[in-house]
Structure 1
Amino acid sequence: MKSIMNSVTSSHYIKSLAFDYIETYSFQRGDEYQAAMQVLRPERNRLKVRKQKRNNLNENEEIRLSELDALLAMTQYLIDNNGLFHFSSQRTNTFQYDHEVTKLLRNILLTKITDVNNWMCAPIYRDAIVFYKSSGEIISALNICLSCEAMAIDSSSQVIADGRTYELLRKFFKEIGHPVKS
């Protein structure tokens, strides 16, 4: 079955959001994440091999394998289909709508698209911005891969941006103390 991918420009995306504040998140990085991966990957491999060779997993092991498959899938998003945050997510900042940082972010996402880079790698989203209503309701989550220069709302919705947008986002995250590799 073919997957259908929707896309929207970064300027259309940010203009369409009615939000009251944002939070920035870092995930899939750091020593704790790497340590967790060293435990989770072998556990998944053991269960997967056992299922393939002997097909003798009990119900709990089947559930666990399914959980591990979801946790270790190629592309991870900050918020999963059940509305749960990635286990490695760390909130780094919170800014109100009228804060200078939020204004800067809006301007970055409004960058005119003249040059879109299309790298031939699968994105590994490590940075994200979540847009909230004042009630705490999540409006949208923007997953960002600064390496591949890719953004997505979820597995079926990508956000198209100019190459310059990613340079500005990299600088933006660094300036607010977000852990971004140089």
Structure 2
Amino acid sequence: MTAEKQSIPAKEDEISMYTVKAISVSSSDYINGFPFDYIETYSFQRGDEYQAVMQVLKPERNRLKMRKQKRNNLTDTDEIRLSELDALLGVTQYLIDDTGRFHFSSQRTNTFPYDNEITKLLRNILLTKITGVNNWMCAPVYRDAIVFYKSSGEIISALNICLSCEAMTIDSSNQVVADSSAYEMLRNFFKEIGHPVES
């Protein structure tokens, strides 16, 4: 399954929490910005299986980086592999990458139609009026996500959520800003639908 570029109405906003020049949109403008027919929820970058894969990939990347720095004798295949590992380990990870591929650790947890009570609850959370935004200094690790679909199966948008840092984003340059109270509601939302949300 591949994702198409998302066209979400956005504006540069003074409440952006980020020092990089990013486009931000309020959570209410985001959820009101496009029609959709159903949602899927995903959990990723967590769990024993994911940690086991990381314990293999990180040393592999480190070995290749060290070889490149010390001996500069990587083959073309090694260079490609190092580039793949850098993309996977060296930057913020999103549910869907720039090529439209889902993260290798992603697990779909639920599917809900537009008129389902769970979807209505999500809409209400995202419609929470912004009165305060926490400005945590941690780098977000997105572990929960919501994908919005047309009835045809076409992806309209994917919303990546870090509950620890209270951050939401569509991708590296399109942030979604929500009221600080929305994150506790989102934490409960994900727990109720079966996500293994960290305490």
TM-score, normalising length from structure 1? 0.97
The residue type equivalent to 1:163 in the other structure is S
Moved over 3 A (4+): none
Gaps of 5+ in 1: none
1:16 counterpart SS class: coil
In structure 1, distance between residues paired with 2:60 and 2:90: 14
Q: State the identity %.
A: 80
Shift of residue 3, structure 1, vs aligned partner? 5.5
In structure 2, distance between residues paired with 1:15 and 1:121: 29
In structure 2, distance between residues paired with 1:91 and 1:177: 11
Aligned residues: 181
Shift of residue 127, structure 1, vs aligned partner? 0.3
In structure 1, distance between residues paired with 2:156 and 2:67: 41
1:39 counterpart SS class: helix
> Quick one: which of 185, 188, 191 aligns to 1:168?
185
Shift of residue 4, structure 1, vs aligned partner? 3.2
1:139 counterpart SS class: strand
Shift of residue 180, structure 1, vs aligned partner? 0.7
The Cα RMSD (Å) is 1.1
1:62 counterpart SS class: helix
The residue type equivalent to 2:74 in the other structure is L
Aligned ranges for residues 1-182 of structure 1 at < 5 Å?
A: 4-182=21-199
The residue type equivalent to 2:122 in the other structure is L
1:110-150 Cα deviation digits (max 9, x unpaired): 00000100100000000000001111111000000000000
The residue type equivalent to 2:99 in the other structure is N
Gaps of 5+ in 2: 1-18
TM-score, normalising length from structure 2? 0.89
